[in-house]
Chain A
């Protein structure tokens, strides 16, 4: 075979082509063989790496798909929680409103009770003050009357002391002194 090829090559003029478009047969043979060798070498040496690369890519994509699925699950869970929380917020709002109403009612009741007590206390104090004022007025009136009486008594007594009365008083003095011992 080799001898045939060599003979063929030797019979050919390398500077002249046989066809304007197609290559020379030998070139096709060589090219075909080289292509087979290159393809074989590629399959033999690069195939595993490529296959490994594809497998890794597949795994990565699968992992990403799994992660996405997990994220979706988590998102669903979060959405569920949020929806639940929203429900809770409404309940809490209602509860707080109810509690506020209760507290307001309690404050109102307490305030009313306190005001009633304060009014009663003020009334009692006013009554006490009134009594004290009445007492003071009464005392002041009594003092005024006493003062006027103290001022008026000597005047009245002097006016009623006639000479006869004065003489009677002298006689009474003499009698009482004389009867003393």
Chain B
């Protein structure tokens, strides 16, 4: 799928969420959906399997998100599944998040952590990253047990990695 098409879908989703007045929440939920889609092979295989009827795949997405995400988020994901562009879901959502951050004059900061961050920690981390980048950041936290401990922050092209996983990898290489 071309980047133009991705941008078009992202803009459409963005405008719907904005019109609904739930942009912040939807953007956050979609971001988590995108990361889950990337990391869960079974989910990815199911939603991209063309042998399964589209309606059924939509139903799967709706059942997975039902009760856990807002209606708008669920409907937007269902919309992408229905359009047959589900393979591009992460790219569309990332573009949407970037657009939303840009709208708020913020830089997207993707954080990976082994455990969820408290609200206080998110606030202080956002402030610290804003201090580093010189721009306010739109924090997107992904709980990823594979990092074991610590955090890795990706802000634009900059990567700040202080995870236990990375340290272990470095230690393994040294050994």
Contacts and interface: CB of A to CB of B under 8 A. Distances in A.
Contact of A153 (B125, B128, B168): B168
A174 B160 CA distance: 11
B149 A149 contact: no
Interface residues of A, number: 24
B30 to A, nearest CB: 24
Interface stretch (B71-79, B86-94, B114-122): B114-122
A169 B164 contact: yes
Interface stretch (A4-12, A34-42, A112-120, A154-162): A154-162
A163 B115 CA distance: 8
Nearest to B163: A169
Nearest to A165: B149
A170 B168 contact: no
A149 B150 contact: no
Interface in B68-113: 113
Interface in B145-175: 148-151, 153, 160, 162, 164, 168, 171-172, 175
A166 interface: yes
Contacts of B150: 166, 169-170, 172-173
Nearest to B169: A154
A77 interface: no
A1 interface: no
Contacts of B149: 161, 165-166, 169
Interface in A137-162: 146, 149-150, 153-154, 157-158, 161
Contact of B132 (A166, A170, A171, A177): A177
A141 to B, nearest CB: 14
Contacts of B128: 174-175, 177-178, 180
A123 B148 CA distance: 55
B124 interface: yes
A44 interface: no
Contact of B124 (A149, A163, A169, A174): A174
Contacts of B151: 169-170, 173-174
B175 A177 contact: no
Given A173-B151, A178-B131, A153 B171 contact: yes
Contacts of A170: 113, 115, 117, 121, 125, 150-151
Contacts of B131: 177-178, 180-181
Interface in B38-69: none
Interface of B: 113-115, 117, 121, 124-125, 127-129, 131-132, 148-151, 153, 160, 162, 164, 168, 171-172, 175
Interface of A: 146, 149-150, 153-154, 157-158, 161, 163, 165-167, 169-178, 180-181
Given A150-B171, A177-B131, 13 more contacts: A154-B168, A157-B164, A158-B148, A161-B148, A169-B164, A170-B125, A171-B121, A174-B124, A175-B128, A177-B129, A178-B131, A181-B131, A181-B132
